Structure 1
């Protein structure tokens, strides 16, 4: 079967349960990336499944101008979980759509057009979000994109300070770069970004599409830095596998956001999944498990792999292993020889984004597999 959007993998997945996926022959795979961080509670979580089933049996869809209980509950869960000052919720269907909205909101609220983004950053593939995405392989086929976007080195506070001026609408960046290679910012970088945007009257947009929902060991990665942006976007883990995104906005953004809407914004079934996912993450303190198991896994990888790899970079259960050769062979061997499904971040990084319910036994399985795969290769 031919594919247009994605290159198909040689494993046809049939069902999922917890941290595991299964093919039609019931071969078991440990999900360390196949769900792209979209299943923080694991596959087929009973609370999320029950919420979806109950809602779809009662009301599948009405447009967001009609109030429904499921959307009210999703809003309430997000308002309670959001960083202080970001209680304005706009729901959508994906991370790229959340970032599109954030860029529009920032331009409308400030009256300016200049957007500052970072090298190695990734914010999506629609025309607006794509203009702020660094990788030219993604951008070039679709030029010209929206103009007035300037890229600065990630983590360089001086370069950011120089770029922000009174014509800046927003700075958009990830508190930890995922697609770019699991790159952590320098100490104080997010605080400096907030300081510079506030002084210029611009919006700070933190893209937590991948880092949000407890992935880094806090519900929001910005909490670790003690920084609250003007707009926070998140998506992947928001509805535990259903397509959902959100832009959480400060009052001054919400009051001046202009006209923006989407047909499927906050549909009842997706809203039910958001409510169940966010509530479970908070009530069961899932981010703490991500911090503890992520620290254990990264520590064991660092100890076992040593100089076989260039680096192990991590924050919670967002882990990148920079290998000395291309990552694709390691990913293939992990999947076919060890039953572990991971994904790349750039050309040389093996990226691990497992469900946040991973335990030490699963972590040991990953360490043993990577030690075998990388130790058996001639570097």
Structure 2
């Protein structure tokens, strides 16, 4: 049986990782500034993480959600305290797409409406309703194109208010920092105005924190830079540091009825052990603060490089979620960084190099990356 092609593959077989570095089967070492699509939050193979999962596997790997799982209760308490949302309810699933799917379903249960507002260039997942809220017609199958979603420009508050005033909008879903869309950030004025308009019109505000959350922006959730309090927050990626997991944080204003949401694998014992160990490390190693400080340092260095006319036209981002806009083919730069300098990065939008390193990334590593990037930008045409 042949594997289905999911992504274009680099001819590299990664077999080992430690911290912010990975190695291929030939022993070549790579600096990882992509973290496997922002999934690696505390670093590859952190000893506390591996020990916690191994110990749990030795006791119980899985049982269904039909029995008490005290690890879920522990995780809910820890996550509530770490994020500042102790009064919210926590629903655990397996992925970011599932988190958004269930968030949109909850919103519709709450107000009985079916129309959704989403931002242009948004990415919310590949499942049925999540993919319809994703502004990419190439991945929306005809069966998913049901007319539920209106796409609007991020930060155009008047456009969002006009649609909300019609009184039929179920939910607004936004990434406060768009990842796939090119590290585009929501303005504070826009976010606060949108939150107010949602309250006035009985519309549910969903913050998609799947890529920009879990400390990546230098706050636990990226929307906390904007001083808003969404009705529903979705999380995934960094929550499990590679173990598949997603979460929906639900405002106490909602009262989901028993049976409206369900999952077989969500919040299983191994997933919870992974997620608890991630919070242990984030807190003990001050990784949210590190993401802020190191991210600011790296962006300053990139802007210095920009002044040297090195093909960089703009540097955007918060914390360790950074976009480098280039005046040359970004995929060629990404390829050269990987092949010639052994650095993993990502791409986004039409010309953005995307940096999403583990939150344990250091200033020394930032300097190392800058030197490698300089060489590539001088050589690549």
Residue 248 of structure 1 corresponds to 249
CA distance, structure 1, for counterparts of residue 292 and residue 377 of structure 2? 25
Match of 1:100 in 2: 101
Tell me, in whole angstroms, the C-alpha distance in 2 between the residues paired with 1:54 and 1:144.
42
Query: Which residue is equivalent to 1:39?
Result: 40
Comparing 298-307 with 35-44, greater Cα deviation is found at 298-307
* CA deviations over 1:17-67 (Å, ceiling 9, x no partner): 111000112211011114211111100011111111111110010111211
* Structure 2 unmatched ranges of 5 or more: none
Match of 2:369 in 1: 366
Structure 1 position 213 matched with structure 2 position 214: yes
Residue 203 (1) aligns with residue 204 (2): yes
Give the deviation of 1:142 after TM superposition.
4.0
TM-score (norm: length of structure 2): 0.95
2:148 equivalent in structure 1: 148
Deviation readout 1:166-191 (Å, 9 max, x if unpaired)? 21111000011110000012231111
Number of corresponding residues: 377
SS at match of 2:177: coil
Map of 2:355 onto structure 1: 352
Instruction: Assess, with a 3 A threshold, how the Cα gap between structure 1 residues 212 and 362 changes in structure 2: closer, same or farther.
Output: same
Number of the residue aligned with 1:84: 85
Cα separation, 2, equivalents of 1:102 and 1:377: 43
CA distance in 1: counterparts of 2:262 and 2:70, whole angstroms:
20
SS where residue 4 of structure 1 aligns?
Answer: coil
Distance 2:336 2:276 in 1: 38
The separation in 1 between residues aligned to 2:63 and 2:100, in whole angstroms, is 24
The two structures, once aligned, show a CA RMSD in angstroms of 1.6
1:262-341 mapped onto 2 (5 Å cutoff): 262-306=263-307, 307=309, 308-341=311-344
Deviations 1:308-342 (A, max 9, x none): 22211120000111111221110110011111001
Moved more, 282-291 or 76-85: 76-85
Q: CA deviation at 1:74?
A: 1.6
The answer to whether structure 1 residue 376 and structure 2 residue 379 are counterparts is yes
Distance 1:87 1:187, change over 3 A: closer
Q: CA 1:41–1:34 in 2, change beyond 3 Å: closer, same or farther?
A: closer
- Check whether the contact 1:295–1:316 (CA below 8 A) recurs between aligned residues: yes
The TM-score normalised by the length of structure 1 is 0.96
For 1:310 and 1:142, the matched residues in 2 are separated by: 38
Q: For 1:155 and 1:336, how far apart are their aligned partners in 2?
A: 37
Provide the C-alpha distance between the structure 1 equivalents of 2:41 and 2:35, rounded to a whole number of angstroms.
Answer: 12
How big is each residue's C-alpha offset from its partner over 1:276-311, in whole Å with a ceiling of 9 and x where there is no partner?
112321343211100111001111011113342221
| Aligned partner (choices 330, 341, 345) of residue 342 of structure 1 | 345
Shift in Å, 1:81: 2.2
Which secondary structure does the structure 1 equivalent of 2:53 belong to? Answer: helix
5+ residue gaps, structure 1:
none
Closer, same or farther: CA 343–105 of 1 in aligned 2, 3 Å = same
Shift of residue 137 of structure 1? 1.9
Distance (Å, rounded) in 2 between the aligned partners of 1:342 and 1:247:
28
Q: Which residue of 1 aligns with 2:237?
A: 236
Greater mean alpha carbon deviation, residues 347-356 or residues 181-190: 181-190
* Aligned CA distance change for structure 1 residues 194 and 83 (closer, same or farther; 3 Å): farther
Equivalent position of 1:134 in the other structure: 135
Q: 1:162: Cα distance to partner? A: 0.7
Moved more, 143-152 or 50-59: 143-152
Residue 159 of structure 1 corresponds to: 159
2:110 corresponds to which residue? Answer: 109
Q: Which residue of 1 aligns with 2:25?
A: 24
Cα deviations across residues 335-363 of structure 1 (Å, max 9, x unaligned)? Answer: 11111001111231110000011111110
Q: Does the CA-based 8 Å contact 1:85-1:251 persist in structure 2?
A: no
Change over 3 Å in CA distance of 1:85–1:115 after alignment to 2: farther
In structure 1, what is the equivalent of residue 51 of structure 2? 50
CA distance in 1, matches of 2:87, 2:324: 34
The equivalent residue for 2:5 is: 4
| Residues 74-83 or 324-333, more deviating | 74-83
